[in-house]
Amino acid sequence: MPGAISDLIALLDLEPRGTDLYRGVSPKIGWPRVFGGQVVAQALVAATRTVPESRPPHSLHAYFLLGGDPKVPIDYEVERIRDGGSFTTRRVKALQGERAIFAMSVSFHAAEEGFEHAFPIADIPGPDDLPDAREAMTGSDAILPPAVLAYFTKTWPIALRPVEVERYRDRTPRAPRFHVWLKADGPLPDDPAVHRAVLAYASDMTLLDATLIAHGRTVFDADIQSASLDHALWFHRPFRADDWLLYVQDSPSAAGGRGFARGTLYDRAGRLVASVAQEGLIRPRLAPTPAAPFTIS
């Protein structure tokens, strides 16, 4: 495996520390706080290890309580809430020392047949028709903010191919919608639990930024204080996270210093495989004159 994705697989291989207790670490890449998607993914791995493989997770609901310190290991305590006939429930608490930094509930469901429908995939260029994030961000004559350039040219374990790159080139308010193709940047083991954990990791990438599109701003602006507050993820259908998935994002509302964003993930065959919802802090650090917001009609 390429280095970045093999490092992610290693991050997800938690160390058992006792009954229903696991320890994870963070990559040493100089970040001031732990990436939220990492904690979601590691907590999902911890919960999954306490449930039979025949009962995969179908949803998770999480709260980010405190910013994690990347230099300190994270202990994941799993509480076995319920083992029912069809559903299993687990609660996971993430701690650094005595501090709880994160809490998540996960529901598992035995596979069964039932009604099926899904919204169709958006009419968006495919991943083969788009440059990768590095090419998209460096191949234009337009000058991009350094923070945006640094994020999209960083060596991530997740390959990104954003569609509406132009939103980063100016501060024009636009409809609060964003599309990005993503996948693990290398082959993954066949274990479906690994693919779900990698998708959980990737689901926190670029989503909160969608809440600022209507205002011509981004979370990369130095005068914006941003942080994920909660995160919910639903798994609908089997998928592979090492093949391209279209992440369709929108933001129905921003108010009270918080922005709300939704996401749906489709595979290349057009099947809806997962849905995401997140609210985050989007607070101005100073009091600049804001761009006129885009009105949603």
Catalytic annotation, residues: 204, 228, 278
Whether residue 66 contacts residue 99, with contact meaning beta carbons closer than 8 Å, is answered with: yes
Amino acid at 32: P
Single out the residue of 122, 93, 86 nearest to residue 107, CA to CA.
86
Single out the residue of 172, 210, 208 nearest to residue 293, CA to CA.
172
Q: Provide CB contacts within 8 A for 269, sequence distance 6+.
A: none
**Which residue in the block uniquely carries the two structure tokens 């069809």?**
86
Whether residue 84 contacts residue 62, with contact meaning beta carbons closer than 8 Å, is answered with: no
- What are the φ/ψ torsions at residue 258 (nearest 5 degrees)? -125, 145
* Neighbour order of strands in the sheet with 87-96: 15-18, 21-24, 74-83, 87-96, 99-109, 57-64, 224-235, 272-284, 258-267, 245-255, 177-184, 158-162
